[in-house]
Amino acid sequence: MNQSCTQCDAKNSDDAVFCDNCGTRLQRATVAVAPSTAAPNPHDGKPNTNQVNVTINTIAQPSKSTTVAGILAFFFGPLGMFYSTVSGALIMILINTLIILPIMIFTVGFGAILYFPSWLVGIVWAVMAVNKQNTISVK
Ligand SMILES: [Zn+2]
């Protein structure tokens, strides 16, 4: 399926645009067949080209409130974080149950003090998550 150069008769690969030997623009051996089914445009006589319609989803995301996110995380801890960040809430619940709870049991209750930093992290996380989401939706 090689195509021959019209100037120097060198063999070039079928997809080559220019001759490897002399640089002449190569004539396509097989001319792309124009779609005969395409109806000519009545205005300029050219066949209609299929237009690709790109559908852009413009779903307006309601922006959440950082205040509400902070208050919910303040009162309900990781459960309140579900409002702002589901993944964050799940991670904090896992930390609380898998890390802090065993420590608390092991230290006969003293480990409960770890819930305080965990709770603070949850509030900050919730507010930051809403901030990030609002920044993205503004763009
Ligand atoms: Zn050539």
Do 73 and 121 reside in the same domain of the chain?
A: yes
Angle of the 66-76 helix axis to the 115-138 helix axis, nearest 10: 160
For residue 61, the model assigns a pLDDT of 54
Q: Are residues 101 and 52 in the same domain?
A: no
pLDDT of residue 3: 83
Q: Which domain holds residue 2?
A: 1-60
> How many angstroms separate the CA atoms of 36 and 48, rounded?
11
Residues at Cβ < 5 Å from ligand 1 ion? 5, 7-8, 10, 19, 21-22, 24
Mean local confidence (pLDDT), 8-37:
76
Q: How many domains are there within the chain?
A: 2
Asked whether residue 55 falls in the same domain as residue 10, the answer is yes
The Cα–Cα gap between 2 and 16 comes to: 9
Per-residue pLDDT tens digits for 62-120? 678 999 999 999 999 999 999 999 999 999 999 999 999 999 999 999 999 999 999 99
Residues 45 and 90 in one domain: no
User: Long-range contact list for 40-46, CB < 8 A, 24+ apart?
Assistant: none
Q: How far, in Å, from the CA of 13 to the mean position of ligand 1? A: 12
Q: What pLDDT score does 54 carry?
A: 47
C-alpha of residue 33 to centroid of ligand 1, in Å: 25
Q: What is the pTM of this model?
A: 0.52
